[in-house]
């Protein structure tokens, strides 16, 4: 794959003398950028394009071609690729810019399938089709139809949108974004995000990696490579297309709550990546990770020449889940008093007043250098009449050289930003126009700094599916049912030591009733019992029971009716499994019962997952505060989650499990009250 980004020779199949055609733009880009390798123009319409000889076919080249750029109609792409792959000196690497493949419908999908077959037959590397191309600024390679308006630097990009790639290029000058390698992957028929991430992981010029993806192929492989990569390089991922309606109607609360967005986010973050909320967040993360080293503490100091800006930044830090303001002790305040005017503030945020000179900024930043346990300083400046933005920017550059923590500049305003960036660009630093951008990016920088790379340690040894459970699942499948009856669900979870209240069917003889009771309809066709009137609580005597039974027999004439001993009140949680088509089993835990969809307090684990991963997430969650108030052991909750992990790993035929609620108590074992299992 190195020959894709560092080719010694490039053939442009579909090169053109027309300046506004894709083939003409790609050729001109390579020439204008100063590509030093050999360029072969391929097009039977020309003998020459400019000073370059033009060949009617790649067969006529007669020498090694490291990379072929394909910009011809989709219907003849496979023919030309096979021709190049069959040469005595075969071409193995292609960038297919041409559109008209899978994105264009059934005919295009067939053409793309032909291309994939050729790639498998001849062991070809193909980027695209339907893509912008590839760029390597360090080697002056612009094999794309983007402008030559990008900067070289440390950021590697893997982008599923050519338009957003060109937008980043356009921003590169004003936002000090420099790129090492860029791949627009389009339909990713052959090479996908996982292949390219693996390549950039080993690339010495790439220090930060950004991915824009509209879908993720080979989810488990992607997580594995992301985990390896993020241990040494920050990886920022923005995933689009999460708001599309699910193709399959959601049948359980677990399925509803573990939607695509939640699962993708958990997959990225559990593998060590940074999940970007939107494109602005993506850009700001690329800026901070390419400009600053990881931070050791979450304690932030704010320095400002504007009180309002300082207060806004303080509010943002206090609302952030991960960052805190650094409090100063008496000794530290005395030091600060020597460099901050009496009318200013020696409490964090440090207000050094509107007339703050470059000298005052310099002295304050030097004073902070000697104070321990600071994670980062946010250095704010608003451009007042006497404010020397250029001088303050130079002071920030100097402070970053001698400080053990990053000094993150926020020069507010378009003009101030432009002047500051002129200073920062040669130093590979970056300014943030608004405090919110700096705080959000710092929060992600801190969280990236403290991640412990535990994914590989989460290997549990599982036994095979119990034979009795497997027989039961086969029976359900033979009956063409998608869901278990409650009795079957009970047998499944009890096999894994999950408690279920005493339950029997209407008409069972010899059952000793212990009021109060709960009456429920038990049918795979009645999934949401509450909404369909299929649950009655607080049945306190035989007369009530008889009345409810008659009502159910009228309402659900062909369904089974079950009776449960009503459990004591406790903390109701929902615990479930969803098997994601791409990432595999997902374990979900959240507030249960009627609170499930109101508060949406939930957390997820992807497999493999062990005790440490479960405990760490629970300890950091809002749910842990509820457990403490209810005096419920975090250990007990962890144990139940790990039982679900075991069910998920041992039973590949399960699509979803939904236990809602599971009732937890201060002094006894939890109980699974309602259970749904889907094949």
- Closest CA relative to residue 17, chosen from 31, 37, 38, 33: 31
Sign of CA dihedral 514, 527, 493, 254: negative
Cβ(272)–Cβ(347) below 8 Å: no
Q: Which of 549, 566, 583 is the last residue of a domain?
A: 566
Let me know whether 41 and 188 are in one domain: yes
Residue partners of 108: CB distance under 8 A and separation at least 6? 74, 100, 101, 102
Within a domain: 246? no
Tell me the two tokens of residue 472. 């039961």
Considering only the C-alpha atoms of the chain, give the largest distance between any 2 of them, rounded to a whole number of Å.
Answer: 99
pLDDT in tens, 92-135: 999 999 999 999 999 999 999 999 999 999 999 999 999 999 99
Map 309-321 to HEC letters: HHHHHHHHHHHCC
Pairing mode, strands 503-505 and 407-412: unpaired
Residues 534, 462 share a domain: no
The reply to whether 605 and 520 lie within a common domain is: no
| CA atoms of 174 and 185, how far apart (whole Å) | 25
Domain count, the chain: 4
CA distance 155 to 157: 6
Question: Is position 24 within any domain?
Answer: yes
- In angstroms, the CA 195 to CA 197 distance is 6
Distance CA 606, CA 593 (A): 24
- 360 CB-near residues (< 8 Å, 6+ apart): 339, 340, 341, 352
Closest of 616, 569, 562 to residue 593, by C-alpha: 569
| Statement to judge: residues 576 and 557 lie in one domain | no
Asked if residue 57 belongs to a domain, the reply is yes
**What CATH number has the domain bearing residue 468?**
3.30.470.20
Environment class of 171 (CB within 10 Å of its CB; exposed 0-12, middle 13-18, buried 19+): middle
Residue 229's Cα: distance from chain center in Å?
14
Q: What are phi and psi of 447, to 5 degrees?
A: -65, -35
CATH of the domain at 297: 3.40.50.261
Indicate whether this model's pTM tops 0.85: yes
CA dihedral 330, 332, 336, 342 (to 10 degrees): 0
Strands 299-304 and 376-382: parallel
Task: Classify residue 277: in a domain, yes or no.
Answer: no
Q: Which residues does residue 313 pair with via DSSP β-bridges, in sequence order?
A: none
Task: State how far the Cα of 300 lies from the Cα of 322, in Å rounded to an integer.
Answer: 11
Residues 221 and 312 in one domain: no
Query: Distance (Å, rounded) from C-alpha 588 to C-alpha 609?
Result: 12
Say whether both 52 and 200 belong to one domain.
yes
Statement to judge: residues 475 and 393 lie in one domain: no
Helix and strand totals (H; E) in the chain: 23, 29
Q: Provide the 3-class DSSP secondary structure of residue 331.
A: helix
* In contact, 156 and 203? CB cutoff 8 Å: yes
Same domain, 562 and 574: no
Structure tokens at 287: 């800026």
Burial of 647 (0-12, 13-18, 19+ CB in 10 A): buried
| CA atoms of 603 and 144, how far apart (whole Å) | 42
Same-domain check for residues 331 and 232: no
Q: Look at residue 249 in the predicted model and tell me its pLDDT.
A: 39
In which region does residue 394 sit, left (phi positive, over 0), alpha (psi from -120 to 50) or beta (all else)?
A: alpha
| Distances from the Cα of 392 to the Cα of 361, 413, 499, 593, angstroms | 7, 14, 65, 56
Its sign, for the CA torsion 188, 194, 195, 197, is positive
Predicted pLDDT of residue 247: 38
Cα distance between residue 666 and residue 204, in whole Å: 54
Look at residue 18 and tell me if it is in a domain.
Answer: yes
Contact 623, 472 (CB under 8 A): no
Q: Is 555 helix (H, G, I), strand (E, B) or coil?
A: helix
Find where tokens 């990432």 sit: 583
The answer to whether residues 50 and 97 belong to one domain is yes
Q: CA distances (Å), 215 to each of 34, 45, 97, 234, in order?
A: 35, 39, 19, 20
> Cis (ω within 30 of 0) for the bond into 143?
no
For residue 562, which of 678, 679, 673 has the smallest C-alpha distance? Answer: 673
Give the residue among 307, 392, 319 at the shortest CA–CA distance from 345: 307
**Dihedral angle of Cα 343, 345, 351, 355, to the nearest 10 degrees:** 20
- Which residues, other chains included, contact 393 with Cβ-Cβ below 8 Å and sequence gap of 6+? 409, 411, 419, 420, 423, 424, 431
Q: Which structural domain, as residue segments, surrounds residue 165?
A: 2-241
Q: Does 381 map to a domain?
A: yes
Which pair of structure tokens corresponds to residue 243? 């708001």
User: Whole-angstrom Cα distance, residue 394 to residue 371?
Assistant: 22
- 278 in a structural domain: no
Quote the CA–CA distance of 361 and 306 in Å, as a whole number: 13
User: CB within 8 A of 450, min separation 6: which ones?
Assistant: none
Residues 27 and 174 in one domain: yes
CATH code, domain carrying 60: 3.40.50.720
CB 156 within 8 A of CB 182: yes
Q: Are 167 and 157 in contact (CB under 8 A)?
A: no
Residue 320 included in any domain? yes
Return the closest-CA partner of residue 611 out of 582, 580, 645.
645
Q: In a 3-state reduction of DSSP, which class is residue 95?
A: strand
Under a CB-based contact definition with an 8 Å cutoff, are residues 185 and 158 in contact? yes
Q: E strands of 56-150, at which residues? A: 67-70, 93-96, 125-127, 133-136, 141-144
User: Along the chain (679 residues), what's the average pLDDT of each consecutive run of 10 residues?
Assistant: 96 95 97 97 95 95 96 97 96 97 94 98 97 97 95 96 94 93 97 98 97 92 93 94 48 59 90 93 96 92 96 96 94 95 94 96 95 95 94 97 96 95 94 96 89 53 80 93 92 95 79 85 77 85 89 86 91 94 92 64 87 89 92 96 94 93 95 94
Distance from C-alpha of 206 to C-alpha of 308, rounded to nearest angstrom: 39
Looking at the fold, whether 44 and 118 belong to one and the same domain comes out as yes
CA atoms within 13 A on the CB side of 324: 9
Q: How far apart are CA 488 and CA 479, in angstroms?
A: 14
Domain containing residue 540: CATH number = 3.30.1490.20
What SS3 class is residue 352? coil
């Amino acid at each position: 794959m190195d020959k894709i980004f560092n080719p010694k020779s490039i053939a442009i199949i579909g090169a053109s003398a027309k300046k506004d055609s894709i083939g003409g733009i790609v050729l001109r880009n390579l020439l204008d950028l100063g590509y030093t390798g050999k360029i072969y123009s391929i097009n039977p319409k020309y003998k020459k394009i400019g000073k370059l000889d033009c060949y009617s076919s790649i067969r006529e080249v007669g020498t090694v071609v490291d990379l072929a750029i394909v910009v011809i109609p989709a219907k003849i792409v496979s023919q030309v690729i096979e021709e190049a792959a069959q040469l005595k000196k075969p071409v193995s690497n292609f960038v297919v810019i041409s559109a008209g493949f899978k994105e264009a419908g059934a005919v295009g999908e067939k053409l793309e399938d032909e291309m994939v077959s050729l790639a498998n037959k001849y062991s070809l590397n193909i980027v695209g089709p339907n893509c912008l191309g590839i760029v390597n600024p360090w080697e002056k390679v612009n094999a794309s139809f983007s402008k030559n308006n990008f900067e070289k630097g440390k950021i590697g990009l893997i982008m599923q949108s050519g338009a957003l790639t060109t937008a980043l290029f356009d921003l590169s000058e004003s936002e000090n974004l420099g790129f090492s390698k860029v791949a627009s992957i389009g339909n990713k028929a052959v090479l996908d995000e996982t292949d390219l991430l693996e390549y950039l992981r080993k690339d010495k010029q790439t220090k930060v990696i950004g991915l824009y993806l509209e879908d993720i192929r080979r989810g488990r492989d992607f997580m594995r490579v992301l985990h390896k990569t993020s241990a040494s390089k920050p990886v920022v991922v923005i995933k689009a297309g999460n708001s599309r309606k699910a193709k399959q109607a959601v049948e359980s609360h677990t399925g509803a709550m573990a939607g695509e967005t939640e699962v993708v986010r958990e997959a990225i973050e559990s593998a060590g990546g940074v999940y970007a909320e939107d494109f602005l967040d993506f850009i700001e993360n690329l800026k901070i990770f390419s400009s600053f080293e990881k931070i050791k503490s979450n304690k932030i100091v704010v320095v400002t020449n504007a009180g309002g800006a300082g207060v806004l930044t303080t509010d943002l830090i206090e609302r952030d889940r991960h960052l805190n303001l650094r409090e100063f002790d008496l000794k530290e305040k005395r030091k600060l008093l020597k460099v901050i005017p009496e009318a200013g503030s020696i409490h964090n945020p440090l207000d050094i007043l509107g007339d703050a000179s470059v000298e005052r900024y310099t002295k304050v930043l030097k004073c902070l250098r000697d104070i321990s346990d600071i994670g980062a300083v946010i250095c704010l400046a608003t451009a007042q009449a006497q404010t020397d933005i250029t001088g303050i920017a130079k002071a920030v550059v100097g402070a970053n050289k001698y400080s053990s923590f990053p000094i993150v500049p926020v020069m507010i305003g378009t003009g101030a930003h432009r002047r500051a960036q002129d200073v920062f660009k040669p130093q590979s630093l970056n300014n943030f126009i608004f405090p919110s951008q700096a705080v959000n990016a710092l929060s992600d920088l801190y969280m990236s700094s403290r991640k412990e790379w535990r994914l590989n340690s989460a290997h549990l040894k599982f036994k095979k599916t119990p034979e009795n459970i497997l027989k039961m699942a086969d029976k359900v499948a033979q009956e063409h049912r998608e869901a278990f009856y409650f009795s079957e669900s009970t047998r499944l979870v009890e096999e894994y030591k999950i408690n279920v209240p005493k339950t029997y069917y209407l008409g069972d003889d010899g059952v000793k009733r212990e009021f109060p009771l709960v009456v429920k309809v038990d049918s795979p066709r009645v999934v949401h019992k509450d909404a369909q009137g299929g649950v009655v609580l607080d049945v306190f005597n035989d007369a009530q029971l008889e009345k409810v039974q008659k009502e159910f027999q009228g309402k659900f004439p062909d369904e089974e009716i079950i009776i449960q001993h009503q459990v004591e009140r406790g903390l109701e949680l929902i615990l479930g499994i969803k098997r994601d088509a791409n990432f595999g089993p997902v374990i979900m835990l959240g507030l249960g019962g009627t609170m499930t969809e109101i508060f949406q307090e939930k957390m997820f684990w992807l497999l493999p997952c062990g005790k440490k991963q479960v405990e760490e997430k629970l300890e950091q969650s809002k749910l842990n505060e509820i457990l403490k108030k209810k005096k419920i052991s975090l250990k007990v909750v962890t144990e139940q989650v790990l039982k679900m992990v075991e069910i998920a790993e041992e039973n590949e035929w399960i699509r979803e499990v939904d236990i809602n609620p599971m009732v937890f108590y201060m002094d006894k074992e939890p109980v699974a009250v309602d259970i749904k299992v889907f094949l």
